[in-house]
Amino acid sequence: MKNISVIGSGTMGNGIAHVFAQNGYSVSLIDIKEEALERALSTISKNLDRMISKEKIKASDKETTLNNIKIFTSIELGVKDSDLIVEAATENKDLKFKIFKDMDVYAPKHCILASNTSSISITELAAQTQRPQQVIGMHFMNPVPIMQLVEIINGYSTSDTVTNTIEELSKTIGKIPAMSNDYPGFIANRILMPMINEAIWTLHEGVGDVNNIDNVMKLGMAHPMGPLQLADFIGLDVCLAILEVLYEGFGNPKYAPCPLLVNMVNAGKKGVKSGEGFYSWTHGTKELVVSSSFH
């Protein structure tokens, strides 16, 4: 494994590219928009500066890392020498299906095709290709350069060789792999999303307010941030999409999204990315939204 391609240069994609490049891999970062790629390189550069200021890396490491990344607006050119491609596009099934078809056409025969999806079936993604045994999930956690976990998801047809290769590769980039089989939500979101949903129900039913709900989980259960703040950070639209995948996949009412979450997403309140969710983020830090605004 020498050449890694990353498709999608958003928050997850640039983080994945950063981590591979910092660990000496040659990275091709691919996005349809040139400006998105320039933004990604700027983000990676700033994150490396932060690591230098904390004395985690040297200035020369930043230069080497950035030199390891090349940018492309064409999948065909960006994956032609790849040993591994990590797809990190928006969490949209149709888009990911198209990307997997394209990767399969343009990537070398030996190349492993991975997805950073948090909820879409790896088996379904693999079915878009002629190499289902070489398709696997690599679900990184945000922010990628800091979070140690990578959830590795085996599709129905994923070969043991590919699983072992990706498990070892994860360790070489300083991550701790957690192995999961391909069922809705995998491990992380199958456990996390019902907790977030229950926190939203607790608010919706007036059991507690935002501050108290988050404080109970932070101070009482030793979580680094409360579930409502975490939902804002993930994106309320993303939480809703994952809950819908769980509900549809299992047909169990315990996964049904809280109506308050549905209303907030429909109203455009998506958390940090929109400036307001359970908290207001318009000043860059969280402030409590007046709780009467929850309907």
Contact (Cβ atoms closer than 8 angstroms) between residue 199 and residue 223: no
Do 45 and 164 have their domain in common?
A: yes
Do 75 and 197 have their domain in common?
A: no
Q: Active-site positions?
A: 118, 139, 151, 189
Q: E strands of the chain, at which residues? A: 3-7, 26-30, 69-72, 84-87, 112-115, 135-140, 149-154, 176-181, 279-280, 287-288
Task: Give which of 185, 186, 277 is closest to 235, Cα–Cα.
Answer: 277
Contact (Cβ atoms closer than 8 angstroms) between residue 140 and residue 6: no
Number of structural domains (the chain) is 2
Do 31 and 176 have their domain in common?
A: yes
Q: Residue 51 is part of a domain; what is its CATH number?
A: 3.40.50.720
Q: Report the C-alpha gap between 138 and 154 in whole angstroms.
A: 9
Q: Does the pLDDT at position 185 exceed 80?
A: yes
10 Å CB burial of residue 213 (0-12, 13-18, 19+) is buried
Do 152 and 210 have their domain in common?
A: no
Q: pLDDT for 147-183, tens place per residue?
A: 999 999 999 999 999 999 999 999 999 999 999 999 9
Do 199 and 262 have their domain in common?
A: yes
Do 9 and 137 have their domain in common?
A: yes
Do 207 and 153 have their domain in common?
A: no
Contact (Cβ atoms closer than 8 angstroms) between residue 172 and residue 146: no
Do 93 and 210 have their domain in common?
A: no
Q: Does the pLDDT at position 43 exceed 70?
A: yes
Contact (Cβ atoms closer than 8 angstroms) between residue 237 and residue 293: no
pTM: 0.91
Domain span including residue 106: 3-181
Do 211 and 118 have their domain in common?
A: no
Bridging pattern class, strands 135-140 and 112-115: parallel
* Letter string b/e over residues 245-277, b meaning 16 or more CB atoms within 10 A of that residue's CB: bbbeeeeeeebebbebbbebbeeebbbbbbebb
Do 96 and 79 have their domain in common?
A: yes
Q: Residue 281 is part of a domain; what is its CATH number?
A: 1.10.1040.10
Q: Which pLDDT score is estimated for 292?
A: 46
pLDDT band of 290, cuts 50, 70, 90: low
Domain boundary among 163, 181, 199: 181
Pairwise pLDDT comparison (202 vs 282), residue with the higher score: 202
Q: pLDDT for 253-277, tens place per residue?
A: 999 999 999 999 999 999 999 999 9
Q: Report the C-alpha gap between 100 and 267 in whole angstroms.
A: 32
Mean pLDDT of 131-143: 96
Domain boundary among 146, 181, 216: 181
Domain boundary among 123, 153, 181: 181
Which pair of tokens denotes residue 143?
A: 């922010």
Task: Give the DSSP letter string of 122-174.
Answer: HHHHHTTSS-GGGEEEEEEPSSTTT--EEEEEE-TT--HHHHHHHHHHHHHTT
Q: Which pLDDT score is estimated for 295?
A: 59
Assign 3-state DSSP to the chain and report helix, strand, coil percentages, each to 5.
50, 15, 35
Percent of the chain with pLDDT over 90: 94
Do 8 and 116 have their domain in common?
A: yes
Q: Which pLDDT score is estimated for 294?
A: 62
Q: pLDDT for 76-95, tens place per residue?
A: 999 999 999 999 998 899 99
Do 84 and 119 have their domain in common?
A: yes
Q: Average pLDDT, whole number, for the chain?
A: 95
Contact (Cβ atoms closer than 8 angstroms) between residue 156 and residue 126: yes
**Measured between alpha carbons, how far apart are the two ends of the chain, in Å?**
52
pLDDT band of 287, cuts 50, 70, 90: confident
